[in-house]
Amino acid sequence: MRLSLLLALVPALAVTARPAAARDLPGGLVYLRDIDASIAQDMRYASANNFTGNRLPGYDAPECILRRDLAEALRKAQATLVTHRLSLKVYDCYRPTRAVTAMARWAQAPEDNHTKRFYPTLDKRTLFSGYISSRSAHSTGTAVDLTVVPLPEPHVAAYDPRASYGACTAADRAPDTSIDMGTGYDCFDDKSHTANASIAAQAKRNRTTLGNAMRAQGFTNYFREWWHFSFGRPGPAYDVPIARR
């Protein structure tokens, strides 16, 4: 995700009436599969497996779209990790501005505890303090949420929307193929802060592995979220729905 949206102080462009095909993505955006198909994709906002409990508007397909320079930098980071039998896995890439609006609307709605596991110790209304923002660098294609998985990627049980999973900080959290990062993705908790000292030693090492691979290619991490990285200067924000490649 990043829910922790780094502020992108740019105006959103007008809503586009139809999803863009690969040939007419705006602003130098590309499908990650066209740059490096070996990078795993687990696009959470195109499913119910996210902190809102619903697919977000604009996520019409589970595809990662990014600005080309960021995608090329990811390809280089992937090449380094693969030599250690590891792979990147993206959770969120370009995010239509309508999805950002939906996140903000969700945060202001009454609490129903349906997705409390994503913010186990916080009041839902406080998530604007460092996690949710009205503007996101994701909407410019210059931010990515991701983790590392072992190769070959292990099989885990599929996400079950009817299941009762533990908090994102707990051992019985929802299934994921990621190596242990100390918390799940989109976990709004102090333990998700990249330099948090309370997580297990192996999780600290795993965060370092991800951070080193990304920083070597020019990425910057958001300190409250181990999974969120930005690249380059953000340009305009877009509201083009994500279509199938």
pLDDT the model gives residue 22 = 53
Cβ atoms 167, 183 nearer than 8 A: no
Tokens 């299934």, located at residue: 175
Domain span at residue 103 reads 22-230
HEC assignment per residue over the chain:
CCCCCCCCCCCECCCCCCCCCHHHCCCCEEEHHHHCCCCEECCHHHCCCCCCCCCCCCECCCCCEEEHHHHHHHHHHHHHHHCCCEEEEEEECCCCHHHHHHHHHHHHCCCCCCCHHHCCCCCHHHHHCCCCCCCCHHHHCCEEEEEEEECCCCCCCCCCCCCCCCCCCCCCCCCCCCCCCCCCCCCCCHHHCCCCCCCCHHHHHHHHHHHHHHHCCCCEECCCCCCEEECCCCCCECCCCECCC
How do residues 78-114 score in pLDDT, each as one tens digit?
999 999 999 999 999 999 999 999 998 998 899 999 9
Domains contained in the chain, number: 1
pLDDT the model gives residue 15 = 37
Tokens 């490649």, located at residue: 245
Q: Report pTM.
A: 0.90
Sequence-distant contacts of 52-57: CB under 8 A, at least 24 apart:
52/102, 52/103, 52/106, 52/115, 53/114, 53/115, 53/161, 56/99, 56/102, 56/103, 57/96, 57/98, 57/99, 57/101, 57/102
CA–CA gap between residue 159 and residue 175 (Å, rounded): 7
Q: Would you say residue 183 lies in a domain?
A: yes
Q: Would you say residue 13 lies in a domain?
A: no
User: What phi and psi, each to the nearest 5 degrees, are found at residue 90?
Assistant: -90, 140
Q: Would you say residue 4 lies in a domain?
A: no
pLDDT the model gives residue 23 = 56
86: which 2 tokens?
Answer: 């590891």
Q: Would you say residue 242 lies in a domain?
A: no
Please give the single-letter amino acid code of residue 214.
Answer: M
Q: What is the CATH number of the domain that holds 124?
A: 3.30.1380.10
Alpha carbon 155 to its chain centroid, in Å, reads: 21
pLDDT the model gives residue 9 = 31
210: which 2 tokens?
Answer: 């991800």
Q: Would you say residue 131 lies in a domain?
A: yes
Low-confidence ranges of the chain (pLDDT < 70): 1-23, 128-130
pLDDT the model gives residue 27 = 86
pLDDT the model gives residue 11 = 37
pLDDT the model gives residue 131 = 72
CA–CA gap between residue 174 and residue 166 (Å, rounded): 7
pLDDT the model gives residue 173 = 96
Q: Would you say residue 12 lies in a domain?
A: no
Q: Would you say residue 238 lies in a domain?
A: no
Provide the b/e sequence for 20-48 (b: ≥16 CB within 10 Å): beeeebeeebbbbbebbeebbbbbbbbee
Q: Would you say residue 245 lies in a domain?
A: no
